[in-house]
Amino acid sequence: MRKLILALGGSLMVAAPLATADVLGVGANVSYWDSDLSGKAGKNNDVVDIENDLNLDSDTNANLSAYFEHPVPLLPNVRLNYTRIEQSGRGELSTEFDAIQGGVDVDSDLDLSQFDVTLYYEVLDNWVNLDLGLTARDLDGELIVREKVTNGQVSKTEINGVVPMGYLAARFDLPLTGVSVGGEANVISFDGDSVYDYNAYGQYELSLLQLRAGYRQISIDYEDSNDRLDIELGGPFVSAGLTF
């Protein structure tokens, strides 16, 4: 991973002299994301199918983001992003998982949070906008599976770590309309672990108000000691924000 971080850092050093920001900018938005979940969780040598065995459904998908841009040469702009995903369900295990026997009814809860700090440069800033940067993502996930009997067995799968990721954002503005289309991506893949987070959207701006609608996909394949989550979440989102 050190080689990958150095390569991404080198790309930023090349991009820094090309940065074109010449004004001060601040913005924030909140979004609602209607995502579907699929994948597997691993505990020691046991594996459970999150969608088919646990029947997890979305309860809460919240996303908050804010950014600060400035005209100071060589210093990167800053973007913060927080995503919280809570899902619960009732199902029946098809096989043994951890200390819980196969064929029993279970209740399950998945709690996944991501906090991103992104440092980036505006390489292009006109009707074509292009940002390049690095993201440090604090990834924290917990899956609890409970046997549906009094004093039943409980299994907890946890992942936690700070993941470095490459950041890319592009937007194309339609002149004089307030309408634009774009996309954003955070990606990392190394030594069997990978995290992909990308979205594509249409946007409309009216004065200080910014409205977006699009599609977001997150893929996490991450191992922490004997615990592993290999999941995908994807679905449409809408957001509203203010820019200054």
Strands 128-147, 57-69: pairing is: unpaired
CA-to-CA separations, 205 to 63, 67, 182, 208, 216, in angstroms, rounded: 20, 17, 13, 7, 20
Q: How far apart are CA 76 and CA 78, in angstroms?
A: 7
User: Is the entire prediction scored with pTM above 0.85?
Assistant: yes
Q: For residue 72, what are the CA distances in angstroms to 122, 127, 133, 135?
A: 12, 22, 16, 20
Confidence band of 192 (pLDDT split at 50, 70, 90): confident
What is the distance between the alpha carbons of residues 177 and 74, in angstroms, rounded to a whole number? 32
Length of the chain: 244
Does position 2 have pLDDT exceeding 50, yes or no? no
Owning domain of residue 40: 2-243
Give the 3-state DSSP-derived string for the chain, with helices as H, strands as E and coil as C. Answer: CHHHHHHHHHHHHHHHHHCCCCCCEEEEEEEEECCEEEEEEEECCEEEECCCCCCCEEEEEEEEEEEEECCCCCCCEEEEEEEEEEEEEEEECCCCECCECCCCEEEEEEEEEEEEEEEEEEEEECCEEEEEEEEEEEEEEEEEEEECCCCCCEEEEEEEEEEEEEEEEEEEEECCCCEEEEEEEEEEEECCEEEEEEEEEEEEEECCEEEEEEEEEEEEEEEECCEEEEEEEEEEEEEEEEEC
Q: What sign does the CA torsion over 112, 115, 119, 120 have?
A: positive
Query: Could you give the count of Cα atoms lying within 13 Å of 135 in the half-sphere of its Cβ?
Result: 26
Share of the chain above pLDDT 70, in %: 90
State residue 10's pLDDT score. Answer: 52
pLDDT of residue 17: 55
| Residue 19, pLDDT score | 54
CATH of the domain at 239: 2.40.128
Q: pLDDT for 44-70, tens place per residue?
A: 989 999 989 999 876 668 899 999 999
Q: Across residues 196-206, what is the average pLDDT? A: 97
Domains: count for the chain: 1
Query: How far is the C-alpha of 120 from the C-alpha of 132, rounded, in Å?
Result: 5
Rounded to an integer, the average pLDDT of 169-195 is: 94
pLDDT over 90 (residue 9): no
